[in-house]
Amino acid sequence: MEQALIRNFSIIAHIDHGKSTLADRILELTDTVTGRDMRAQVLDSMELERERGITIKAQAVRVTWKGHELNLIDTPGHVDFTYEVSRSLQACEGALLVVDAAQGIEAQTVANAYLAIENDLEIVPVVNKIDLPSANPDGAAAEIAELVGDTAEHVLRISAKTGDGIAEVLDAIVERIPPPAGEPQAPPRALIFDSSYDQYRGVVAFVRVVDGSFSAREPLRAMAQGTRFESEEVGFFSPTMRAAESLGAGEVGYVITGLKDVSRLRVGDTLTSERTPAAEPLPGYKDVKPMVFAGLFPTDSDDYPDLRDALERLKLNDAALFYEPETSQALGFGFRCGFLGLLHMEIVRERLEREFDLDLIVTAPNVAYRVLTKSGEEVEVHNPSEMPREIERVEEPYIKASIIVPKDHVGQVMELNTERRGRFDHMEYLSEERVLLVYELPLAEIVLDYYDQLTSRTRGYASFDYDVIGFREGKLERVDVLIAGEPVDALSLIVHRDGAYARGRMLVDRLREEIPRQFFDVPVQAAIGSRVIARETIKAKRKDVLAKCYGGDISRKRKLLEQQKKGKKRMKQVGSVEVPQEAFLAVLNLDGNKK
Amino acid sequence: MSARHLYVHLPFCASRCGYCDFVTVVGQDGRHAAYVAALLAELELEREALAPRLESVFLGGGTPTLTEPGALARLLRALPPAEEVTVEANPETVTPELAALLRESGVTRLSLGAQSFQPRLLEVLERRARPGDVRRAFSLLREAGFDNLSLDLIYGIPGQSVADLEDDLSEALALEPEHVSAYELEAKPGTRFTYAHGPELARQADAMESYFERVVARLTEAGYRWYETANFCRAGSRDLRSRHNLAYWRGRDYLGLGIGAVSTIAGLRWRTTPRLGRYLASLQSGERPERELEELPAQVQSSERVLLGLRLDEPLSLAGLGDAVDATALERLERLGLVARAGGGLTLTERGRFLGGGVTAELLA
């Protein structure tokens, strides 16, 4: 296809603002799928995506419109996937920015719009759901125009549900978005913007060809990693895989690599031909650093190899996922995993449980810390139990949070952010009713239950998004928990000095409730260094007898003791104290902390 | 192998107490004679399992003394003689006639279910006897010449205060029984009693934690020997421990007759059907009643020896029981001062006895 006739675009929208429905209508109107084949929301292929209404993995679909080849590159809607969004956006020249006519702009819309603008994308603003009785297309159009620096008249008004205005959207894509600029005759270069793993065909790379062209049975090389392979097939999605002779400059499609090891092909790398290699790779993506960490442990320790395999498989499709083996005194063998954010963590956990049928314990998440030790060494800490005790300085990640709320809830949001060590940045009225609040907050303050708090305090009206803006020094302390004088690695945490006492107290109280009484008094302490900040004693049992035991009772009593013995075997030994796994879970488990 | 200890179950009761989980039968007064006949038929069928000379016979219930006197006398006379013959009695059933009947029939020991001396608490337990009945029964039995009487007490009753407990102990001691059994009330899940009183018991759990210690302290101060977890006997030249129950705790074989009765002989345990109708029908046609069998492998027998033996204040010889005990746990429990070893035998320390259940669970391999 002639480059001038190609348009590559994404759809940016807040969850539920109708991105998938719009994509479906585009596929229908361009006859890419017939009505009979049409499953609602064709693009969201993963089971989980369907249920959550979130698109996790980017995919690309080619459609034809009035003699043009349009490539729709799907983007995840949620902020945790900023990295993936930016990957998708780098493969495009333009983006549809879709806003719900009844809801107006949401925090995520703002973040993703800025991302598109930063990537020099042509933005086509669209107000969707104009058919809704509660729709306010003029209000939404004004907000979106203000956001992207356009005029309200220029904003398209559509209903993806009824199909109203879809043709105009396709026309606008052709008219407003520039064709790709690349050198069709230059040595081939293609950006790998995503990949997937097929059991039979190996790694499938999703690529945007920038220069030259790629065809099947051609020796190729991934420039950064140096991986060599022969392309087994090239093609595009329409919407299912269709083999093609070649993919030319400006086109979007797939390359079947036949590689069996996903780690050999990294997203962000540049493909080139072995025969006529390009001199320079394309600007790739920065390696994203995971910011949120949690331990993942199999409930049944026999499942550890399965968990390892599952993580390996997920990693194939999820470059942002990080993991390394972790051994916990309390929970056994597992992995410390790094995530882009909380939603990313939740999705990984759900995929592990659902697609791989694993039963998991997920420990309370923490953030990455940069630590300067007294000996002048700089370390990055992903696990509180690894926090050095002799600390000169600790830095923690900060975020810029955008929160959009109805003006009546501004007070509650400010109060919450103050409690969470937030620093007010600015506030603006998006409309008479809606306010954008911008705060800087430590990421650590939002990883536990910030969403829940924000939602409950604003009765669900707030929308929230954030961007990591860097590391800053914090007055942070490592709090250790000691059971009968023994520190328990899995329970260490890093908290701001002002909150240390309260958190220590909470942990100690929870443990006192959860640890059964022993044959001796068990002190449970929270301590910063050698300073105890909270203490409780689990009093020794005074009696534990089977009241009566005669001829008729013996079998039953024996079974009772056998049960008791079995229960003991399931306990974890902390020094001389037997602690049931449930006690750790109550303190550590993410769900437990939501109580 | 033959058993030297015989248990006979007499299930009839005037009413069922809410906390009771024994096999009992209420409102079947017409069947006492038939039941006793069936017991005797069963005895004949099992005769070869019994040694020619028995050490102990125990008639438990139910309320054995509720059994129609003629039938009870027939039973007692037909049973093989033994050195100790114990009958359980509810205080309100004790009359001069009954006392005489028991005495004449070779009964050597009575176990009286007093449970408490507080009318309010007896009502909670749904006991029919009043405190006066216990004292009256006691003097009747003494007058009839019984010199080995045991009293049953229950503590941890919903609503029982420390003062109530102390008063029960004083009342019991005032009667100078040779033997006292004191049990903590067990509220078994699913019983009517637990349904009615469970929440209150849960609330009182902390307050009642000291009751066991108080019971042991009062009785031992009064000169009783705490010879088994829940059993005490007057110390002195006479050995007043229950010989029948000692047999259980020492892992001896025993034969049980009657509905729901359990026997353990030569590594085999069985429980006779708890259903009265079936029991009677089987024996009327000369057949053994249905039974539930349980084989006891050597390992299980050893475990039971440990769990039962450690209830006693005498050392448990570990000879042949080595495999049943977890050596690491034993060392740990010794360090904690809960278990003591002396001359190849194992005993629980005083504190260990208060924690005997948990200690044993840990000790068992």
Average pLDDT, chain B: 94
Strand pairing partners for A338? A293, A322
**Does B354 sit within 8 Å of A542, measured CB to CB?**
yes
Chain A and chain B share a number of CB contacts under 8 A equal to: 100
Enumerate long-range contacts of A320-329, CB under 8 Å, 24 or more apart.
Answer: A320/A83, A320/A84, A320/A288, A320/A290, A320/A344, A321/A290, A321/A348, A322/A290, A323/A296, A326/A295, A326/A383, A328/A295, A328/A297, A328/A489, A328/A490, A329/A488, A329/A489, A329/A490, A329/A572, A329/A574
Phi, psi for residue B249 in degrees, rounded to 5: -70, -20
Least CA distance to B362: which residue of chain A?
Answer: A565
What pLDDT sits at residue A37?
52
Q: Is A128 within 8 Å of A22 (Cβ atoms)?
A: yes
Q: Where are the alpha helices (DSSP H) in chain B?
A: 32-46, 69-78, 96-104, 119-125, 131-143, 162-174, 192-204, 211-221, 243-249, 276-284, 298-309, 327-335, 350-354, 356-363
Give, for B154, the enclosing helix (H) or strand (E). strand B149-155
Instruction: Tell me the pLDDT tens digit for each residue of B161-200.
Output: 999 999 999 999 999 999 999 999 988 777 788 888 888 8
Close Cβ partners of B326 (under 8 Å, ≥ 6 residues apart): B362, B363, B364, B365
Chain B: closest CA distance from residue A547 (Å): 6
What pLDDT sits at residue A350?
85
For residues A129 and A163, what is the distance between their CA atoms, to the nearest angstrom?
A: 10
**Does B357 sit within 8 Å of A546, measured CB to CB?**
yes
Interface test with B, best of A555, A556, A573 (most B CBs within 10 A): A555
Nearest residue, CB atoms, B361 vs list A541, A554, A568: A568
The CA distances from residue A437 to A103, A397, A418, in Å, are 17, 20, 13
Q: Is B362 on the interface with A (CB under 8 A)?
A: yes
**Does A557 sit within 8 Å of B307, measured CB to CB?**
yes
Task: For chain A, give the number of residues.
Answer: 595
CB atoms within 10 A of CB A85: 25
What pLDDT sits at residue A50?
47
Quick one: CA dihedral A145, A150, A154, A160, positive or negative?
negative
**Does A548 sit within 8 Å of B269, measured CB to CB?**
no
Q: Is A484 within 8 Å of A522 (Cβ atoms)?
A: yes
Chain B: closest CA distance from residue A486 (Å): 17
Nearest residue, CB atoms, A541 vs list B264, B308, B355: B355
Quick one: CA dihedral A248, A254, A259, A265, positive or negative?
positive
For residues A595 and B18, what is the distance between their CA atoms, to the nearest angstrom?
A: 38
Q: For the whole prediction, is pTM greater than 0.80?
A: no
User: Is the pLDDT score of B84 beyond 50?
Assistant: yes
Nearest residue, CB atoms, A551 vs list B184, B256, B333: B256
For residues B29 and B17, what is the distance between their CA atoms, to the nearest angstrom?
A: 18
What pLDDT sits at residue B331?
93
Q: Is B179 on the interface with A (CB under 8 A)?
A: no
User: For residue A239, is the peptide bond before it cis, meaning its omega torsion is within 30 degrees of 0?
Assistant: yes
Chain A: closest CA distance from residue B352 (Å): 9
CB atoms within 10 A of CB A461: 16
For residues A51 and A494, what is the distance between their CA atoms, to the nearest angstrom?
A: 35
Chain A: closest CA distance from residue B305 (Å): 10
For residues A521 and A303, what is the distance between their CA atoms, to the nearest angstrom?
A: 35
**Does A549 sit within 8 Å of B362, measured CB to CB?**
no
What pLDDT sits at residue A57?
46
For residues A335 and A332, what is the distance between their CA atoms, to the nearest angstrom?
A: 10
Q: Give the 3-state secondary structure of residue A450.
A: helix
Sequence letter at residue A341: G
Least CA distance to A563: which residue of chain B?
Answer: B361
Interface of B with A in 264-283 (CB under 8 A): 264, 269, 271
For residues B310 and B332, what is the distance between their CA atoms, to the nearest angstrom?
A: 17
Rg (chain B; Cα; Å): 21
For residues A272 and A186, what is the distance between their CA atoms, to the nearest angstrom?
A: 11
The structure tokens 């998708």 sit at A88
CB atoms within 10 A of CB A466: 24
Interface test with B, best of A517, A544, A568 (most B CBs within 10 A): A544
Nearest residue, CB atoms, A545 vs list B229, B262, B333: B229
Angle subtended at Cα B52 by Cα B46 and Cα B58, rounded to the nearest 5 degrees: 65
Strand pairing partners for A125? A97
What pLDDT sits at residue A308?
94
User: Is the pLDDT score of B311 beyond 90?
Assistant: yes
What pLDDT sits at residue A120?
85
User: Is the pLDDT score of B111 beyond 90?
Assistant: yes
**Does A558 sit within 8 Å of B300, measured CB to CB?**
yes
**Does B362 sit within 8 Å of A547, measured CB to CB?**
no
Beta-strand ranges (E) seen in A155-250 are 156-157, 189-198, 202-211, 213-215, 219-222, 228-230, 233-237, 241-244, 246-248
As a dihedral over the C-alpha atoms of residue A258, residue A263, residue A267, residue A273, rounded to 10 degrees, the angle is -50
Angle subtended at Cα B44 by Cα B38 and Cα B46, rounded to the nearest 5 degrees: 105
For residues A477 and A528, what is the distance between their CA atoms, to the nearest angstrom?
A: 7
Chain A: closest CA distance from residue B24 (Å): 14
For residues A194 and A196, what is the distance between their CA atoms, to the nearest angstrom?
A: 7
For residues B161 and B155, what is the distance between their CA atoms, to the nearest angstrom?
A: 10
Instruction: Write out chain A's pLDDT in tens, 595 residues.
Output: 789 999 999 888 877 777 878 888 888 888 877 654 555 445 555 555 445 444 434 468 899 999 999 999 876 555 555 556 666 777 899 999 999 999 888 877 787 787 788 778 899 999 999 999 999 999 999 988 888 888 888 999 999 989 899 999 999 999 999 999 999 999 999 998 888 777 778 888 889 999 999 999 999 999 988 999 999 999 988 877 888 999 999 999 999 998 887 778 877 889 999 999 999 988 766 666 788 899 998 888 889 999 999 998 888 667 778 899 998 877 889 999 998 777 788 888 888 888 888 888 888 888 999 999 988 899 999 888 888 878 889 999 999 988 988 899 999 999 999 999 999 999 988 888 889 999 999 999 888 778 878 888 888 788 887 878 889 999 998 899 999 998 888 788 888 988 899 889 988 998 998 899 999 999 999 999 889 999 999 999 999 988 889 998 899 999 988 888 887 776 777 778 888 877 877 776 544 443 3
Least CA distance to B339: which residue of chain A?
Answer: A519
A557 contacts on B by Cβ (under 8 Å): 307
Interface of B with A in 101-160 (CB under 8 A): none
Interface of B with A in 11-70 (CB under 8 A): 22
For residues A284 and A549, what is the distance between their CA atoms, to the nearest angstrom?
A: 75
Phi, psi for residue A53 in degrees, rounded to 5: 70, 25
Angle subtended at Cα B72 by Cα B70 and Cα B73, rounded to the nearest 5 degrees: 65
For residues A114 and A308, what is the distance between their CA atoms, to the nearest angstrom?
A: 37
Q: Give the 3-state secondary structure of residue A432.
A: coil
**Does B358 sit within 8 Å of A519, measured CB to CB?**
yes
The structure tokens 């421990």 sit at B241
**Does B230 sit within 8 Å of A542, measured CB to CB?**
no
B353 contacts on A by Cβ (under 8 Å): 545
Q: Is A297 within 8 Å of A334 (Cβ atoms)?
A: yes
**Does B304 sit within 8 Å of A545, measured CB to CB?**
no
